[in-house]
Amino acid sequence: MGIARHPSAVTLPPTDRPYPSILEFLVRAFPHVSPTEWAERLRLGKITDERNRPISAQMSYVPGARIFYFREVPNEPVIPFAEEVIFQNNEILVADKPHFLPVTPGGDFVEECLLNRLRQRSGINDLAPMHRLDRETAGLVLFSVNRRTRGLYHELFTRGEVEKTYDAIAQVSELPAERQWMVVNRIERGEPRFRMRIGPGVPNARSIIHLLEVSGHRGRFRLLPLTGKTHQLRLHMTGLGFGILNDRVYPELLPESADDFDRPLQLIARRLRLRDPVTGSELEFESRQVLGE
């Protein structure tokens, strides 16, 4: 049994009356956990309020209230690759994430995530990621160390003032006439919900894609996302006809299976560039992860 060392927080959302019970909300919000298991966690006092007081199944639902629980998974997989801290000061920490490791707890992963690994090795429990990478993607992730300046770094990402560069290897069936593309479209939730799709409406996703070289039927690409939508680069590459090697979600959703550590997704968050909002200095970081099957 894997049990998180740090609690997860959930804010009870606004909803129509009559309000659900706490148990009903948890069952609806987290259907992968059985009603019996949620009821048992409530009975054992494993779910608490902001003052660390146990919540009972009979307590009233209050929109906007926060509840806390420790995630539990029966058999947590172990990711046999190590992260590397490549920069740290009093404001930020930059880590080089390996393939297959999630940034934060989710699904079958509790302690085996970049956030909790870094908390343990640094002793900084208040770390917070300023952006995300897919579990399958390797490369750079920037964390805030100081709660007082956290909003300054978050605003950089929100305003698109952090330059992010990715490297990828993808299938190239025919040598294209062009070597650079600007992809602009709208990305929205698909089915199942973890799989995104291109939809109609106002564009919300933009990427610049460069084809650097081709060897056989494989191309090496440089990708510059100008926005930060979930699975944006994977969708944009697929839309151009260049499926990233070892992608199990796009263009076709493959059957669920155990991770094949010998076949990582060929996508790396290679560089981050930003002007530090605290010191005013220009910062640039580069991942040491390697592409190649």
Does 214 have pLDDT greater than 90?
yes
Q: Give me the pLDDT at residue 2, please.
A: 62
74 φ/ψ sector (left φ>0, alpha ψ -120 to 50, else beta): alpha
Q: Does residue 292 lie in a domain region?
A: no
Whether residues 259 and 169 share a domain: the answer is: yes
In this prediction, residue 200 has a pLDDT band, given cuts at 50, 70 and 90, of: very high
Looking at per-residue pLDDT, the higher value among 286 and 59 belongs to 286
Q: Give me the pLDDT at residue 150, please.
A: 96
Does 112 have pLDDT greater than 80?
yes
Whether residues 100 and 127 share a domain: the answer is: yes
Q: Mean pLDDT for the chain?
A: 92
Percent of the chain at pLDDT above 90? 71
Lowest mean pLDDT among 97-101, 125-129, 181-185, 220-224: 125-129
Q: What is the mean pLDDT of residues 246-256?
A: 94
Q: Which domain holds residue 113?
A: 84-160
In this prediction, residue 1 has a pLDDT band, given cuts at 50, 70 and 90, of: low
Q: Give me the pLDDT at residue 51, please.
A: 86
Q: What is the mean pLDDT of residues 106-132?
A: 89
Q: Does residue 21 lie in a domain region?
A: yes
Does 102 have pLDDT greater than 60?
yes
Query: Number of structural domains, the chain?
Result: 3
Whether residues 156 and 170 share a domain: the answer is: no
Whether residues 140 and 211 share a domain: the answer is: no
pLDDT tens digits for range 279-290: 999 999 999 999
Q: Does residue 138 lie in a domain region?
A: yes
pLDDT tens digits for range 8-37: 888 999 988 899 999 999 988 888 788 998
Q: Give me the pLDDT at residue 253, please.
A: 94
Q: Give me the pLDDT at residue 129, please.
A: 96
Q: What is the CATH number of the domain that holds 195?
A: 3.30.2350.10
Q: Give me the pLDDT at residue 269, please.
A: 98
In this prediction, residue 232 has a pLDDT band, given cuts at 50, 70 and 90, of: very high
Q: Give me the pLDDT at residue 166, please.
A: 98
Name the domain boundary from 18, 44, 73: 73
Q: Give me the pLDDT at residue 220, please.
A: 97
Q: Give me the pLDDT at residue 10, please.
A: 87
Q: Does residue 276 lie in a domain region?
A: no
Q: Does residue 38 lie in a domain region?
A: yes
Whether residues 205 and 263 share a domain: the answer is: yes
Q: What is the mean pLDDT of residues 103-130?
A: 89
Q: Does residue 229 lie in a domain region?
A: yes
